[in-house]
Amino acid sequence: MNGRRIEEGVFQGLMIASTLIIFLTLGMIIATVVAEGLPALSLQMITQTPQGGYYLGKEGGVLNAILGSLFLAGGASLLALVMSLPVVLYLNVYSHPRSPLSRFTRFSLDVLWGVPSIVYGAFGFTLMIALGLKASLLAGILTVALLVLPIMCRAMDEVMRMSPPELAEASYSLGATRLETALHILSRQCLPGIVTAVLLAFGRGIGDAASVILTAGFTDALPTSLLRPAATLPLAVFFQLGTPIPEVRERAYASALILTLLILLISLLSRLLARKFTRHVVR
């Protein structure tokens, strides 16, 4: 009897410890970025582009990278949404859930999810050359869209699989076609999940450095054209951190802080939006 009590105690302790590690990691990451970056964070950082000699500690900011990242992740998420919605609607409305095709589709998506982002970067690079593109915002968007596509698909798929089949049946019994059922019923029922999936993908896309280093390139100019290179925050962090000048390294942390805040904001926004869209959801 006593042995089992000890066992229970030990494992509960382990569970609590593991959970604490999660909080601690999150807390320490935020603390580090804030402590190192906050002193260098100024209005100038978020309103100006790098001026001459910025990487030597002179005037300027990372507005180029902030806008570049937002455009890139936004464009990629939008593109990925347009590609993944048909996939998940096909999987959940048209194909049979246990058919070989849907199993293979889900398996492929899981494999794609696991592919490292540098591989996407390399693939995007060859794709870019094949399409005759130069390192540009467009090439970056295409690559990141591919990177976040499996995440978005699987996140939406999981939500749609939870939708009760009777709901679709109710729609069919009124004489609705599969397309009408997919667009009016399933999409609406799963709207909170779709919003979450898009923002999840956005968060993943905005934070990735490896996939954009070869495809989007980097520039000190603001992103004004799809066919020009675009700066991104992860790369801005990377370049600034690599200099020996302390002021510049501080700004790297400030840039990381900006990126973290953006992602935090998106997470909060996704929670808020998801809650707002649950209004009509049927349980």
**DSSP labels for the chain?**
-HHHHHHHHHHHHHHHHHHHHHHHHHHHHHHHHHHHHGGG--HHHHH----TTGGGT-S---HHHHHHHHHHHHHHHHHHHHHHHHHHHIIIIIS-TTSHHHHHHHHHHHHHHHS-HHHHHHHHHHHHHHTTPPS-HHHHHHHHHHHHHHHHHHHHHHHHHHS-HHHHHHHHHTT--HHHIIIIIIHHHTHHHHHHHHHHHHHHHHT--TTTTTTT---SS----TTS----HHHHHHHHHTSS-HHHHHHHHHHHHHHHHHHHHHHHHHHHHHHHHGGG---
Q: Does 281 bind another protein (CB under 8 A)?
A: yes
Encoding tokens for residue 174? 């009124």
| Cβ 121 to another protein shortest distance, Å | 40
Q: Binding pattern to another protein, positions 77-96, x when CB under 8 A?
A: -------------------x
| Cβ 71 to another protein shortest distance, Å | 33
Q: Does 166 bind another protein (CB under 8 A)?
A: yes
132: left (phi over 0), alpha (psi -120 to 50) or beta: left
Q: Does 185 bind another protein (CB under 8 A)?
A: yes
The stretch near another protein (CB under 8 A) out of 10-18, 129-137, 167-175, 256-264 is 167-175
| Cβ 101 to another protein shortest distance, Å | 16
Q: Does 172 bind another protein (CB under 8 A)?
A: yes
Encoding tokens for residue 252? 């790297």
If the CB atoms of residues 15 and 179 are measured against another protein, the closer one turns out to be: 179
Q: What is the total count of residues that contact another protein (CB under 8 A)? A: 23
| Cβ 168 to another protein shortest distance, Å | 8
Which residues from 189-218 bind another protein, rule CB under 8 A?
189
If the CB atoms of residues 4 and 283 are measured against another protein, the closer one turns out to be: 283
What's the CA gap between 66 and 250, in Å, rounded? 17
| Cβ 164 to another protein shortest distance, Å | 7
Q: Does 164 bind another protein (CB under 8 A)?
A: yes
| Cβ 220 to another protein shortest distance, Å | 48
Q: Does 282 bind another protein (CB under 8 A)?
A: yes
Encoding tokens for residue 161? 């699989």
Selected binder of another protein within 34, 167, 226, 266 (CB under 8 A): 167
What's the CA gap between 149 and 39, in Å, rounded? 37
If the CB atoms of residues 5 and 283 are measured against another protein, the closer one turns out to be: 283
| Cβ 283 to another protein shortest distance, Å | 7
| Cβ 175 to another protein shortest distance, Å | 3
Q: Does 275 bind another protein (CB under 8 A)?
A: no
Residue ranges binding another protein (CB under 8 A) = 96, 164, 166-167, 169-177, 180, 184-185, 188-189, 279-283
